[in-house]
Amino acid sequence: MSGRTYSFNLQDCLEYAYQHNDSLKNAQLDIESAKYKVKETVGIGLPQVSGSASLQDYLKVPTTLLPGEFFDQPGTFIPVKFGVKYQSSAGLTLNQLLFNGSYLVGLKASKTFKELSERNFNRTKAATTVAVTKAYYQVLVSNEQIKLLDANIAQLSQQLKETTEMNKQGFVEKIDLDRLTVLYSNLVTTKENTVRALVLANYVLRFQIGMPATENLVVTDKIQDIKLENDLALSADTSAYRNRPEFGLIETQGKLNELNLQRLKSEYLPSLSAFGSSSYAYQSDNFKDLFDTKFPSTVIGLQLNVPIFSGFQRSNQVKQAQIEVRKSANILNSVKNGLILQQDVARITYQNSIQSLENQRSNMKLASEVLRVSKIKYQEGVGSSIEVTQAQTALEQAENNYIQSLYDALVSKVDLDNAYGRIK
């Protein structure tokens, strides 16, 4: 069953994707999860209160052997039962962390982890923007190709009618008519294939923006609205890599590795905590009298833990973390160089695609003019039908090359903006 129909320009598609794309929604949820991770870590330094309660029924009260000397029976042991049948207790325990180096570093790490999730969201958003824009351009290009095919089919249909009449009157051979019929049939088939390709491109666009398959989408932009500047003097920006979310993501991951190193080093420091507990104990041989008398107990104190020797485990963990920090620096440098290289490739590819597009546009106009002249020559009897069919085929090929160059130019423009960090 068909659903609603949306008429979107490119910006509408992007805004829709930012709200409905599943990858973006998960990246946003990661940010929410990171916020709670920060709160979880903060909670470690807050007072920790726990309660406990117990009820015991000694089906058989424990027996202990005491020396007979206590009972004027030297040389013997007298069995004596200690305790009562029913015992119960209830109490509260409070622990407060006063100092722990790992906890302080953990606070910094949790906030950096939140930053990492935000940077991952920015990277996912930029990738979504690139994917949606390319999918949108594919729909526009397919629409443009159908327009060109419709124009060709219309003029070839008229030519086919005229040639059919001329064949009936004996002015044109049947082979000339057959050539045109084959061209017309191929052109119609090409359009049908392009229409199906357009439907598929529309499916892809809806998938990229997170639109349900039951909804309908109509693009409203025109291919002429997209500006493709012929900026052959475009130069490299050696600092543009810092605008890329990928670089920030790796940079933040490096910060986490450095904080992990600090955490491991902080484990050499002592930790101090305060504690206190208060409880009541109840004892009786009769259950109904169990809670008549209570025996209170309260204690407070400090606990100091001083690490002395751990079999070199901490030392080796620190060395491993130091290696990870060095690796992070190498990875960050590699990413930096890779992003600069990507920028150079995108710039050159864009410049080449613009020149190719201009060349293919000129070729298409030239092929159209050759076809026009070939028709006139043929109608005046100074040209052959083969020249006309060849010119028609050349025009179709020129239009196909133009459409491909147009799509390549649009895609390279998106890649260029992404490489320069303009897509946020």
pLDDT top residue among 74 and 94: 94
Is the model's pLDDT at 332 over the cut of 90?
Answer: yes
* β pairing state of 5-8 and 216-219: parallel
Token pair 């950096």: residue: 112
Residue 406 confidence (pLDDT): 93
Alpha helix segments (H runs only) across 90-216: 101-168, 174-209
Round to whole Å and give the CA distance between 157 and 154: 5
What would the pLDDT profile of 143-161 be if each residue is shown by its tens digit? 999 999 998 899 888 888 8
CA distance 30 to 37: 10
In whole angstroms, what is the distance from residue 256 CA to residue 321 CA?
11
Q: Mean pLDDT, to the nearest integer, of 149-175?
A: 84
Q: Is the pLDDT of residue 233 over 60?
A: no
Q: Is the pLDDT of residue 73 over 70?
A: yes
Select from 214, 194, 193 the least CA-distant residue to 203. 214
Over 50: is that where the pLDDT of 172 sits?
A: yes
Band of the pLDDT at 174, cuts 50, 70, 90?
A: confident
pLDDT of 171 above 80: no
Residue 232 has pLDDT above 80, yes or no: no
Residues contacting 390, CB < 8 A, separation 6+: 374
**Does residue 202 have a pLDDT over 90?**
yes
For the segment(s) 5-44+100-269+310-419, the CATH number from 1.10.510.10, 3.40.1670.10, 1.20.1600.10, 3.60.21.10 is 1.20.1600.10
What SS3 class is residue 304? strand
Phi first, then psi: give them for residue 76, nearest 5 degrees: -130, 170
Rounded mean pLDDT of the chain?
A: 90
Is 134 buried (19+), middle (13-18) or exposed (0-12) by CB count in 10 A? middle
- Is the pLDDT confidence value at 234 over 70? no
DSSP string covering 371-413: HHHHHHHHHTTSS-HHHHHHHHHHHHHHHHHHHHHHHHHHHHH
List pLDDT tens digits, range 97-124.
999 988 889 999 999 999 999 999 999 9
Give the residue with greater pLDDT, 171 vs 326: 326
CA proximity to 184, closest of 377, 324, 388, 370: 388
Dihedral angle of Cα 23, 25, 30, 36, to the nearest 10 degrees: -170
Q: Which residues contact 381 (CB under 8 A, 6 or more apart)?
A: none
Q: Is residue 275 packed enough to be buried (19+ CB in 10 Å), middle (13-18) or exposed (0-12)? A: middle
User: What per-residue confidence (pLDDT) applies to 170?
Assistant: 77
pTM score? 0.83
Task: Delimit the domains of the chain by residue range.
Answer: 5-44+100-269+310-419, 52-97+273-306
Residues of the chain with pLDDT > 70, as a percent, come to 98
How confident is the model over 185-214, as a mean pLDDT? Answer: 93
Residue bearing tokens 């598929």 = 200
- The residue type at 343: Q
